[in-house]
Chains A and B, each alone.
Chain A
Amino acid sequence: MKGAKIGPWLAVIVGALYFVVPLIATFEFSLRLRRGEYSFEAYRIVLADPQFQATFGYSTVLALATIVVGVLLVVPTAYWIQLRLPRLRPIVEFITLLPLVIPAIVIVFGYLRIYNSSSLIPMTASERATDLLLTFSYVTLALPYMYRAVDTGLRAIDVRTLTEAAESLGASWPAILFRVIFPNVRVAVLSGAFLTFAIVIGEFTMASLLDRPAFGPYLQLIGANRAYEPSALAIIAFVVTWACMGLINLFGGGKTTKAVP
Chain B
Amino acid sequence: MAFLEIEGVRKSFGLNAVVQNFDLAVERGEFVSFLGPSGCGKTTTLRMVAGFEAPSTGAIRIDGKDVTRLRPNQRNVGMVFQSYALFPNMTVADNVAFGLKVAKRPVEERRARVEEMLRLIKLPTLADRYPYQLSGGQQQRVALARALAIKPQVLLLDEPLSALDAKIRVSLREEIRGVQRALGITTIYVTHDQEEALSMSDRIVVMNEGRVEQIGTPFDIYNFPRTRFVASFVGTLNILRGRVTDAAGGRIAVDGQEIVAARAIADGQAGELRSVALRPEAVTLEERTDESNRMRGTIEEVSFLGSVVRVRVRFNENAISLDTFNNPNLSPPRRGQPATVSFARQDLLVLEGAEPG
A interface residue numbers (CB < 8 A to B)? 157-158, 161-162, 164-172, 175, 179-180, 183-184, 186, 255-261
Contacts and interface: CB of A to CB of B under 8 A. Distances in A.
Contacts, number: 88
A170 B150 contact: yes
B77 A255 contact: no
20 contacts: A162-B85, A165-B81, A165-B87, A166-B87, A166-B98, A168-B51, A168-B72, A168-B78, A169-B73, A169-B78, A169-B99, A169-B102, A169-B150, A171-B73, A171-B98, A184-B88, A257-B131, A258-B132, A260-B135, A261-B135
A183 B52 CA distance: 23
A172 B81 contact: no
Given A157-B88, A259-B134, A167 B73 contact: yes
Contacts of B76: 170
B54 to A, nearest CB: 14
B79 interface: yes
Contacts of A161: 81, 83, 85
B85 A169 contact: no
Interface of B: 50-52, 71-73, 75-79, 81, 83, 85-89, 98-99, 102-103, 130-136, 139, 143, 146-147, 150
A168 B50 contact: yes
A260 B72 CA distance: 31
B136 A259 contact: yes
Nearest to B103: A170
Contact of B132 (A157, A184, A257): A257
B79 A256 contact: no
Contacts of A167: 51-52, 71-73
B103 to A, nearest CB: 5
A260 to B, nearest CB: 6
Contacts of B78: 168-169
Contacts of B88: 157, 184, 255, 257
B142 to A, nearest CB: 12
A183 B81 CA distance: 21
Given A164-B81, A171-B102, A255-B132, A184 B89 contact: yes
A259 B132 CA distance: 5
Contacts of A261: 135
Nearest to B165: A261
Contacts of A257: 88, 131-132
A31 B83 CA distance: 59
